[in-house]
Amino acid sequence: MRLNEIQDNSGARKERTRVGRGIGSGRGKTSSRGQKGLGARSGGKVKIGFEGGQSPLYRRLPMRGFNNKNFTTNYTIINVGDLQRLVDTKRLSEKDTVSIEKLQEIGYTKKAHDGLKVLGNGEITVKLTIDAAHASKSAVEKVKKAGGKLTILDNTPAPLKNAYRDALAKEAK
Q: Residue 135 has what pLDDT?
A: 93
Neighbouring CB atoms inside 10 A of 30's CB total 12
User: C-alpha angle with apex 60: 54 to 62, nearest 5 degrees?
Assistant: 170
Residue type at position 9: N
- How far CA 78 is from CA of 42, 108, 120, in Å, comes to 53, 9, 9
How high does pLDDT run on average in the chain?
A: 88
At 165, the pLDDT band (50, 70, 90 cuts) reads low
Bridge partners of 78? 118
Mean pLDDT of 10-31: 91
Pick the CATH number of 73-172 from 3.100.10.10, 3.40.50.300, 3.40.50.720, 3.40.50.970: 3.100.10.10
pLDDT tens digits, 34-52: 888 888 898 888 888 889 8
What residue spans define the domains of the chain?
16-64, 73-172
pLDDT band per the 50, 70, 90 thresholds, residue 1: confident
Q: For position 163, what pLDDT does the model report?
A: 63
C-alpha 110/C-alpha 115 separation (Å) is 12
- Give the count of beta carbons closer than 10 Å to the beta carbon of residue 93: 12
Question: Taking the complete model, does pTM exceed 0.85, yes or no?
Answer: no
Q: How many CB atoms lie within 10 A of CB 131?
A: 18
- Give 156's pLDDT tier (boundaries 50, 70, 90): low
| 140: exposed, middle or buried (Cβ count in 10 Å: 0-12, 13-18, 19+) | buried
Task: Give me the pLDDT at residue 45, please.
Answer: 85
CA 109 to CA 102: how far, in whole Å?
10
Confidence band for 161, pLDDT divided at 50, 70 and 90? low
* Position 162 confidence tier, pLDDT thresholds 50, 70, 90: low
